[in-house]
Structure 1
Amino acid sequence: MCLGVLAAAMVLVPAAHAGAYDDFFKALQLDLSQSVKSLLARGFDPNSVDPERRDPALVYAVRFESLKVLPVLLSSPQINIEARAPNGDTALMVAAYKGEKEAVALLLEKGAEPNRPGWTALHYAAASGSVEIVKMLLEKSAYIDAESPNKTTPLMMAAASGKTTVVELLTAEGADQTLKNDRGMTAHDFAVKFADVTKPASMGLPMAY
């Protein structure tokens, strides 16, 4: 009898854990802050990984724009604010790309690092055209000429996306317009190739000679 009870318990424990796991990510997706708070209080790992995309919980919450659960996750002493998705994105990078100013502000306040090797939140903010987020990141000492693995800079990203206001801001803040990526392309070249060919001059980008 005792062995039977033990065997049943061994089956129920993983099932219960799986149920909590499903509940946790559903609560993140639906932005149910109280549910997330309750699960964390019961010892659920705030750095758990989504079974489909393999996103850490913090990145997952930002992808779903779940702004109510974000401060709950960040209040956990165990949270890894720099946890990365399989593609290398952090929560700050995803928030910057999606133009989520509130999320970016909160993540920066909690100590998220804007600078890292490779792609950065500033690259993403520049590409999405969020002037406010670009300013937030620069105020936190984001490196204005950060280079991606192929040496693309935030200015190049903004130029390629036709984000004139961001190009003007980055240029005014001292972004180097003469830098080239590993294919020899400058920000002006990006604007010509990926945007309207009439835009580079209006963006104030120098012609490449």
Structure 2
Amino acid sequence: MKQFYQIAATVVLLLALAGGIKACKVIKEYSYSYSYNDFAKSIEDFDIDRVEKYLGKGYKATSETGKDRQLITFANPATSTGRDIISLLLAQGADINSKYILTSTDYLGNTTGTYESSLLYHASEGDIDAVKFLLENKANPDITINPDNKTSLMIAARKGEQKVVQLLLDYGADPNMVDINGCSALNFAYYSRSSVVIEALENAGAKEVDHYCQF
């Protein structure tokens, strides 16, 4: 009989512990501050489980955060988890061509901002997997940075990113668009001195622009 009571007491203790753990999880879940800024942080941190919870709670993938950024711009397509998160957001109506302000500070302490998109950023980084994923999901290959009107093709050409340039051309990027200064991707390719990039652009019908360009 004594052994029976010991076993019963152990069972009761285990059940209490299990209940306590469950209660802690519930408390943690409800104490979490749900907001669009926290939603963006979950995206930025590659926390796909929490992203799914936000979507399940009715949070809109098309909404902006307090930073005036569409949620999808916080996702990083350079990683497989980031691409999975983007796919979730796109399925809920997010715009893959959303832009956001990217600020930078020069050595004098002056801060400037440009309107970037995910494609523009990853093309400048030479991230071929990210660029391919974005283009496959209908990213506009001719989307421009404001205010200087540069395209992903111009940026990649300037940096001599051969694979990115060819991929953009394969997805229909216009090799003859010009920026606010009248310079084309071919002008930027001359600057990079990449003969492979120059050849790829010329094969795609790029024409030389007789124009003074500032790089």
- How does the TM-score come out when normalised to structure 1? 0.61
Q: 2:183 aligns with which of 143, 160, 185?
A: 185
Equivalent in the alignment of 1:107: 89
| 1:168-207 superposed matches below 5 A | 168-193=166-191, 195=192, 197-201=194-198, 203-205=200-202, 206=206
1:119 alignment partner, SS class: strand
1:123 CA drift (Å): 1.6
**Cα distance 1:45–1:67, how it changes in 2: closer, same or farther (>3 A)?**
closer
Question: Does the alignment pair 1:157 with 2:155?
Answer: yes
1:69 alignment partner, SS class: helix
Equivalent in the alignment of 1:123: 120
1:148 alignment partner, SS class: coil
- How does the TM-score come out when normalised to structure 2? 0.59
Q: Tell me how far apart the structure 1 counterparts of residues 97 and 178 of structure 2 sit (CA, whole Å).
A: 20
- Structure 2: tracts of 5 or more residues without a match: 1-23, 100-114, 210-215
Question: Does the alignment pair 1:138 with 2:135?
Answer: yes
2:47 alignment partner, SS class: coil
1:182 CA drift (Å): 0.8
Which one has a larger percent strand, Structure 1 or Structure 2?
Answer: 2
Opposite residue 60 of structure 1, the aligned amino acid is K
Q: Tell me how far apart the structure 2 counterparts of residues 115 and 64 of structure 1 sit (CA, whole Å).
A: 21
| 1:13-162 superposed matches below 5 A | 38-39=28-29, 41=30, 44-47=33-36, 56-84=37-65, 86=67, 89-96=69-76, 98-99=78-79, 100-116=82-98, 119-149=116-146, 150-162=148-160
1:143 alignment partner, SS class: coil
CA contact (8 A) 2:43 2:75 kept: yes
Deviation digits for residues 7-65 of structure 1 (CA, Å, limit 9, x no counterpart): xxxxxxxxxxxxxxxxxxxxxxxxxxx979954x5684331xxxxxxxx2233233333
- Structure 1: tracts of 5 or more residues without a match: 1-33, 48-55
Rg larger in 1 or in 2?
A: 2
Calculate percent identity across the aligned residue pairs: 22
CA contact (8 A) 1:37 1:72 kept: no
